[in-house]
Amino acid sequence: MIFKVGCHVSIAGSLEKSVERAENIGCTTFQIFTGNPRGWNAKDISEKDVGDFTGKLENSHISPVVAHMPYLPNLATPKPDLYKKSCDVLIREIERCSLLKVPYLVTHLGSHLGKGRDEGVQRTVEALSGAVESVKSDVMILLENTAGTKNSIGGTLEDIGEILDTAGKTKRIGTCFDTCHAFAAGYDLSTEKGFNETISGYDTCIGLDRLKVVHLNDAKGECNSRLDRHEHIGLGKIGDEGLKRVVNHPKLRELAFILETPVDKKRGDIENVSHARELFDE
């Protein structure tokens, strides 16, 4: 069985170079931004860009590729101008993923900015439903859980479950589970009991069948710290044993595992991907 593990890879220079970078790291899956992650605008994707990227990908045996939304959009915001821009970017990113034959688009759900959870959830549902209606595509939007920081939407499994239920039974919306975020939000993945309770809760509130991608990250902060700081695999508070349970769970082990770990003097992407692979029972 192939362990689908990789990391977030740069598209600097061209989209197709991300495939080469992923291969050099040893990825069997990887994640990209389709454009500038820190701006509202994105350079158009040409037919040549599409051909070069998809052609390189077909010859790489890497699958699937995952895209991530840029940082600026906030699907839960009460501010009308920011909300419209955020919805427009979501639609644009679905279209770009469709061009590139990228099946999954991960999105954070944003912040209600103090206006209350219920209003934030409703705004998010409307944004997601509007995007699904606007773009006819096979691309699946994946809702990522957050670290439970103040005013954020998605820090609890109940948040995400309610959004999915309210949005209706569409196959166009799934989920992405971030281990660092979950741990920071109070889901103790470092113990067998905490892990089992989290997985059971996930299945009850959301449904494990909706889960398509795992962001496999260790955590710098303590459980329930609300600290969104990723650590190298096995060197954080979740640890090797906790992450080993994640990658080997029978309902998770066939999913795509994406690392968003630091690059510093301790380790880089190659070392973290290799270490994650050591945790997987063939």
On whether the CB atoms of residues 53 and 89 are closer than 8 A, the answer is no
Write phi, then psi, for 175 (nearest 5 degrees): -135, 160
Integer angstrom CA distances of residue 194 from 16, 65, 112, 161, 198: 41, 30, 29, 19, 6
By annotation, the residues acting in catalysis are 38, 68, 71, 108, 144, 178, 181, 215, 228, 230, 260
Q: How far apart are CA 35 and CA 13, in angstroms?
A: 11
Dig out the tokens for 203 from the structure: 């299945």
Spatial separation of the C-alpha atoms in residues 180 and 155, rounded to whole Å: 12
Report, in angstroms and rounded to the nearest whole number, the Rg of the chain calculated over CA atoms. 18
